Amino acid sequence: MIANVPFSALRAFEAVVRRAGFSAAAEELGVSQSAVSQHVRTLEQWLGRELLTRGARQSVPTPDGVRLAQAISEGLGRISEVCIDLRDRRRDDDRIVVGCPPGFAFLWLFPRLMQFDQAHPDLSVSIATEVGRSSPGDVDIGIRYGYGDHPGMQVEHLMHERVFPVCAPSLLRAADPLIRLSDLTRQTLLQDEYSGFGADSPNWEFWARDCGLTLRAPRRSRQFGQSNLVVQAAVEGIGVALGREPLVVDALRDGRLVRPFPQIARSPLSYWLVRPRRRPATAGLAAFRGWIHQAAATQPGIPDAVLA
């Protein structure tokens, strides 16, 4: 009988209940929302039971759904513990696997990783780029963006984040130059796609509200699913991005980007180091943690706004 159990559907359903929604579950699993919905419907058809009471804004598990989600959660937790234990038995102490969002990996971690490699030539670091806020399972340590809410995990704060407009220097010298805040209405505004943070999402609306500004609707706007695409679009002069400090500080320091305005907002979100409590604290992992905390603490400051 067990061979016929739709395990992918069970995992998707458990994520929907635990994350209280299809969108958050899809983000965690790295699939589309429609794929998660199809998994749940397949599970309901297979069981012949409704597992969710679907509403316009929220889907609530039925009593059968609550019972099943709890059983899945307990089972997956036990499976995860066994898998971690088995992998740890063969994991080399000189190899470190780091999981983090793609944008952070490309824009902040990769440019600094050579420093760690030179200081620790006996250690090998591999980067696994991950989308969403799931806790690390197949990695030694994860870098996560958000509130730091990872129950059952060891969580350490890595760095805060500030947000502010950034653009290519060419936009300041264009035929229709960017000079005043009101000029943003003629620009394409670039920003990340956020999910699960609500009013705390550090987007253009948040920046304007935090800085006490009134931001009129722009002529155009573009959203990208990865932070590195937002930064690259800004570097190429496609529009004005809402820069997230750790991800744009290098481009600001080398002149690929500039700050056209002085207003800065403090993001409610941060970067965190996350790792399983049962994962052995090897000497290599301790060296990496010490290094990345130092790299975050000594990150260069952001240059002044060019039009301040």
List the domain boundaries for the chain: 2-88, 92-308
- The fraction of the chain above a pLDDT of 90, given in percent, is 38
- Inform me whether the pLDDT recorded for 12 exceeds 90: no
Domain at 2-88, CATH from 1.10.10.10, 2.60.40.420, 3.40.50.300, 1.10.3720.10: 1.10.10.10
Inter-residue long-range contacts of 104-112, CB under 8 Å, 24+ positions, other chains counted: 104/143, 104/145, 104/227, 104/246, 104/247, 104/271, 105/129, 106/228, 107/227, 107/228, 107/231, 107/246, 107/247, 107/248, 107/250, 108/246, 108/247, 108/250, 109/143, 111/250, 112/295
Q: What is the mean pLDDT of residues 17-27?
A: 82
| Architecture category of domain 92-308 in CATH | 3-Layer(aba) Sandwich (3.40)
- Inform me whether the pLDDT recorded for 75 exceeds 90: no
- Inform me whether the pLDDT recorded for 279 exceeds 80: no
Q: What value does the mean pLDDT of the chain take?
A: 85
Contact 184, 178 (CB under 8 A): yes
Residue with tokens 């200081």: 119
Give the model's pLDDT for residue 56.
65
Tens digits of per-residue pLDDT, 154-169?
999 999 999 999 999 9
Full-model pTM: 0.69
- Inform me whether the pLDDT recorded for 241 exceeds 90: yes
* Highest mean pLDDT: which range of 63-77, 115-129, 237-251: 237-251
Q: What is the mean pLDDT of residues 82-105?
A: 73
